[in-house]
Structure 1
Amino acid sequence: MKYIYIIIISTLLSFSCYSQEVMLTSSKNTTELVENSKPKLIIGIVVDQMRYDYLTRFASKFGEGGFKRMIREGFNCKNNHFNYVPTYTGPGHASVFTGTTPKYHGVISNNWYDKEIKATVYCAGDDSVASVGSTSEAGKMSPHRMLTSTFSDENRLFTQMRGKTIGIAIKDRGAILPAGHTANAAYWFNGKDEGNWITSTFYMTSLPSWVKDFNSSDAAQSYFKTWNTLYDISTYTESGADENKFEGGFSGKDKATFPYELDKLKDKNKGFDILKATPFGNSLTTDFAIAAIKGEDLGKDAITDVLTVSYSSTDYVGHNFGVNSKEVEDTYIRLDKDLERFFKYLDSNIGEGEYTVFLTADHGAVNVPAYLQSVKIPAGYLNRDSRKEKFQKFLKDTYGTTDIVEKVSNNQVFLNKLKLQELGLNLHEVEQALVDEQISYKNIAKVYTATTMNSTQFTSGIEMLLQNGFNQKRSGDVIVVDDIAHISYSRTGSTHGSGLNYDTHVPLLFFGKGIQHGETYNKTVIPDIAPTISALLGISFPNGSTGNILGFVID
């Protein structure tokens, strides 16, 4: 009997050990399966000032390996919009990567009036840090004014800081805000007489050797060449005449027409800065992004890395020449070639099907109002001086002083609370009085008070967009909305900032590992991107995220 018990116990112990071994093996296999199911590298691409219709308008000129590859192999969200105002670069980049709007991430504009320090601040400016790689102050930048985390921050936290994050853009804010607070590095291009990629002491005290090597090469210098159309200009039928009165152009050249001899024009256009306003700025950005992947060994192990790339030159070209220009068309044709080159490099060095890319924009742009007027579409230009003069007269006549207004910035009126108190004026009554006055002015469509933004929940229309862009601590006391297609800008070139479709409707393409093939006309919004990528990676959402997972995108 005793012998039988020994056999039973031995059998049970053997089975227990075998079960534990099976469980450990199963757990190990599950862990490896989860890790192997994740992309080795996430590339978040933002094309500055890219309207959605550029995808369709220039489609016949694109090759098969850039935009069309993303559409053919990935998922195209055709009705993708910004869901807040204002549509500027700083808020746009912050919203894409934090998954929320200025209401929560706090980047309410590129520059805004800080009510606490009584001064205008820049979204990425930081006097507590110093430039690295430059003798100028162009490197005194950090993400400290962005109040929430990005999905790249969450990936760093999830991987115990082993997953790298690198941000790259010609514009500092286009590199810094997407990369987040925990980034290993963010690099931006300092033009003028330097022509170098730089950073700040927020990230490091000296540039890595690969960045120094890139800067010491002739990469930037090599783009001082002639900018002509890539194809015969007569085939550029998707844009207006090359010579017209709606474009800015470059100093030193009488007409804004092709070709542009950049080597001859650079001295009158701030040296290396001229490259920013040509498609070669995007090519240089692609060169540097590839160098970053090599130099940082991104995507070389099972721990997901993040690379953020913002193509800034499209915005400079659009501002200068306008959305209907041949210069814009050529810039996008050449960007398509850069994307193809970039994706081929990723295929060869990360592995086809081992990386995931999304591409979107930080805002769109309005057609040049002077051009719209020429084809009888309502549009125009704002007379800020006349508006200011009329407003100051109202303040003087009504309150005996203009001092109750502390600042007018970003279509917002900031009231001087101490002055109101000194004069015994009620804040809410003054707010409403300013609304009643401003709404009577020419080319002002709507006016709202901060009280309304704080006390009423809007679910649609421009009111909802204003509310999503309204940050209680940072925004003003009265918010003004201008007429459709009316801008405060030169009569040449395009700009942006409104809540109208030309500014809010932008591309959203996903492709690569874990992405379904398909398309949708269902409305998606910019804050949906970050939680979707977070879900793909199985990590926490950014801490202020208000977007939804686009489940139909994920395979």
Structure 2
Amino acid sequence: MTFARKAMLLAACMTLPFATPALARRPVAPGPVPAADAPRLVVAISIDQFSADLFAQYRSHVTGGFARLLNGAVFPAGYQSHAATETCPGHSTILTGMRPAHTGIIANNWFDQSVARAAKSVYCAEDETKTAGPGDYVASVGHLMVPTLGERIKAVWPTSRNVAVSGKDRAALMMGGHRIDEVYWWKGKGFVTQEGATPGRVALEQNAAVATVLSAGAPGFDLPADCAVHDRAITAGTVTVGTGRFALAAGDATAFRASPRLDRAVIELATRVVDADRLGRGPTPDVLAISLSATDYIGHGTGTQGAEMCIQVHQLDAVLGDFFAALDARGIDYAVVLTADHGGFDMPERLREQALPQAARADAALLPKAVGERVGAKLGLDPKGLLLAEGPSGDVWVRSDLTPEQKSAVVAAARADLLAQPQVAAVFTHAELAETPMPTGSPETWSLIQRARASFYAPRSGDYVVLLKRGVMAMPVPGPGYVATHGSPWDYDRRVPILFWRKGMTGFEQPSPVETVDIAPTLAAWIGLKLPEGTFDGRCLDLDAGPGTTCGAAQ
């Protein structure tokens, strides 16, 4: 499918006010009908920073929601196959079936020097043409260039509902899309919705419940027996982590967010929406997208191998089990897919203690300011703002006031400078990436330039992209709340589990690599949504889950 065709489809797909007690549904118009046994509710769950490594580490200890999903179709080697393994690009793939090169979501942030404001960094889920309060922005899905599955379903069956709930705005918006009936995300001390819309009764009720917890505070969580081995203090810079229990001081909304309590609040809100909107009880399939963000906040704040992450995975297992039990109790015929937007890497200080000497923090000499100073001195150019970037890796933009010749010289000099640094694996220019064909075949065999190509969209991508060597974390200095990160092209950040479940399906495990872009075409087949060949970058995975669920149903 051409880009122009995709843009036309998106334009054709361009929130409804919340109503209680139940939203009225229009009669189904004559036309295509869902598969005879299509589930009436598709639940798509993303766990932010839930790597395939974490899944493998804890799968033998789960007894709740994860245990249920292990009885379905298990793909332990799923891939967010692109290089820009961040929250926004990853979420943009899950329900669009398209890689970031086609969704247009190349990173969490990129630089656009043409925007009419002093700050040229653009957030993936903002409307940069609108202003908000100091330090704030207007959240928007406008940068997403392709429809989501929920939008495609609504285009065929207007009675279907498309709803998203998350701990982050970018996750909810990238999974929900432009044509969304209801969307909520956590902000500050409660859940909010899109600009200009009023949060519904369910959000107000959930915010009141959260306020009660915040007002009183809460004790820490008990340490599960299998977590004892991880209960060990480790220091990174000025921060010591590894033994936390998530005790909550009264009024500490930041600590609430970086704890299992955030995920439970998101699930409780999702359950309220299921009831209020009567999701899964209409004539056509509904989509409920849920992104659980606490694993990411905890991974950044304490790493992936401390007592904190062990507690978090157990709490996730419990809250997912409660959610599925709630859907069961309501008699809803639902199907679930669970995956992640990216993986994660533990803090280098702990990894080195575990005999991984190659684990390291990026040298400050790789920061764009430092590189720009060296390049500016070499070429006789003002180094101020010469190179624009978020950090030592990823896309880099050259200052726009230079002549084409100066710009080319800066790219060449920066590339040579970076490739001489021992922590740099590769530097690819904009032209090189533009000339590289979109990768195909198994994502585990893709070269570094192919991984970078899957994240490349020419109008937004940088003048060059920097990829650090395996084990080098793009965070030179750790600090409170931020000791580890992700975003690399390596498999610890790319590999995520993909799990499908529906009551009565025959379970199996397939170890061969698949991609998150395979999720949307698979769900489309599951509900009998027929779409033209080439609609997705991904392929349908035959789950063999009964009539109407084979991949042929999507063609």
TM-score class, shorter-chain normalisation, is 0.7 to 0.9
- Offset of 1:376 from its aligned partner? 3.5
Separation (CA, whole Å) in 2 of partners of 1:196 and 1:129: 23
- Offset of 1:58 from its aligned partner? 1.8
Aligned residues: 499
- Offset of 1:417 from its aligned partner? 5.0
Change (3 A) 1:399 1:448: farther
Which residue matches 1:153?
151
- 8 A contact 1:139–1:199 mirrored in 2: no
Which residue among 378, 397, 404 is the counterpart of 1:414? 397
- Offset of 1:550 from its aligned partner? 0.9
**RMSD (Å) for aligned C-alpha atoms:** 3.0
Matched AA of 1:461: S
Separation (CA, whole Å) in 2 of partners of 1:255 and 1:35: 51
- 8 A contact 1:103–1:467 mirrored in 2: yes
Which residue matches 1:116?
114
Which residue matches 1:24?
none
Which residue matches 2:433?
453
- 8 A contact 1:219–1:284 mirrored in 2: no
Separation (CA, whole Å) in 2 of partners of 1:394 and 1:482: 19
TM-score, normalised to structure 1, is 0.82
Which residue among 457, 470, 477 is the counterpart of 2:463? 477
Which residue matches 2:126?
125
Separation (CA, whole Å) in 1 of partners of 2:272 and 2:135: 25
- 8 A contact 2:372–2:386 mirrored in 1: no
- Offset of 1:529 from its aligned partner? 0.8
- 8 A contact 2:65–2:324 mirrored in 1: yes
Matched AA of 1:547: G
Separation (CA, whole Å) in 1 of partners of 2:223 and 2:385: 56
Matched AA of 2:68: R
Which residue matches 1:314?
295
- 1:67 and 2:66 correspond: yes
Look up the SS of the partner of 2:512 in the other structure.
strand
1:170-209 map, 5 Å: 170-191=167-188, 195-201=189-195, 205-209=197-201
Matched AA of 1:224: G
- 1:357 and 2:349 correspond: no
Larger Rg: 1
- 1:227 and 2:217 correspond: no
Separation (CA, whole Å) in 2 of partners of 1:400 and 1:31: 64
Which residue matches 1:21?
none
Change (3 A) 1:282 1:364: same
Which residue matches 1:440?
420
Separation (CA, whole Å) in 1 of partners of 2:209 and 2:74: 38
Matched AA of 2:422: K
Which residue matches 1:368?
347
Which residue matches 1:261?
247
Change (3 A) 1:257 1:516: same
- 8 A contact 2:243–2:306 mirrored in 1: no
Change (3 A) 1:57 1:397: closer
Q: What do the CA deviations read for 1:306-330 (whole angstroms, capped 9, x no partner)? A: 1111110111111111111111011
Which residue matches 1:12?
none
- Offset of 1:479 from its aligned partner? 1.2
Q: What do the CA deviations read for 1:243-282 (whole angstroms, capped 9, x no partner)? A: 2225987xxxx87634443135x4xxxx322111111111
Identical positions, percent: 24
Separation (CA, whole Å) in 1 of partners of 2:222 and 2:232: 11
- Offset of 1:440 from its aligned partner? 0.8
Higher helix share: 1
- 1:287 and 2:268 correspond: yes
- 8 A contact 1:35–1:303 mirrored in 2: no
- 8 A contact 2:218–2:249 mirrored in 1: yes
Q: What do the CA deviations read for 1:130-189 (whole angstroms, capped 9, x no partner)? A: 99xxx99868212111111111110111112x1111110111112111011100121011
- Offset of 1:34 from its aligned partner? 4.5
- Offset of 1:435 from its aligned partner? 2.1
Change (3 A) 1:472 1:115: farther
Change (3 A) 1:512 1:554: same
Matched AA of 2:420: S
1:318-357 map, 5 Å: 318-351=299-332, 354-357=333-336
Matched AA of 1:45: I
Q: What do the CA deviations read for 1:525-552 (whole angstroms, capped 9, x no partner)? A: 1111111112222325598621111124
Separation (CA, whole Å) in 1 of partners of 2:93 and 2:315: 27
Which residue matches 2:4?
none
- Offset of 1:55 from its aligned partner? 2.4
Separation (CA, whole Å) in 2 of partners of 1:107 and 1:127: 15
Which residue matches 1:95?
93
Q: What do the CA deviations read for 1:327-352 (whole angstroms, capped 9, x no partner)? A: 1011110110101100011111143x
- Offset of 1:413 from its aligned partner? 2.5
- Offset of 1:71 from its aligned partner? 1.1
Separation (CA, whole Å) in 2 of partners of 1:247 and 1:507: 32
Q: What do the CA deviations read for 1:373-401 (whole angstroms, capped 9, x no partner)? A: 22332121112356543542233322544
- 1:384 and 2:364 correspond: yes
TM-score, normalised to structure 2, is 0.82
Which residue matches 1:40?
40
Change (3 A) 1:108 1:44: same
1:18-29 map, 5 Å: none
Separation (CA, whole Å) in 2 of partners of 1:441 and 1:465: 21
Q: What do the CA deviations read for 1:483-507 (whole angstroms, capped 9, x no partner)? A: 2111232447321001111101111
Which residue matches 2:24?
none
- Offset of 1:430 from its aligned partner? 5.1
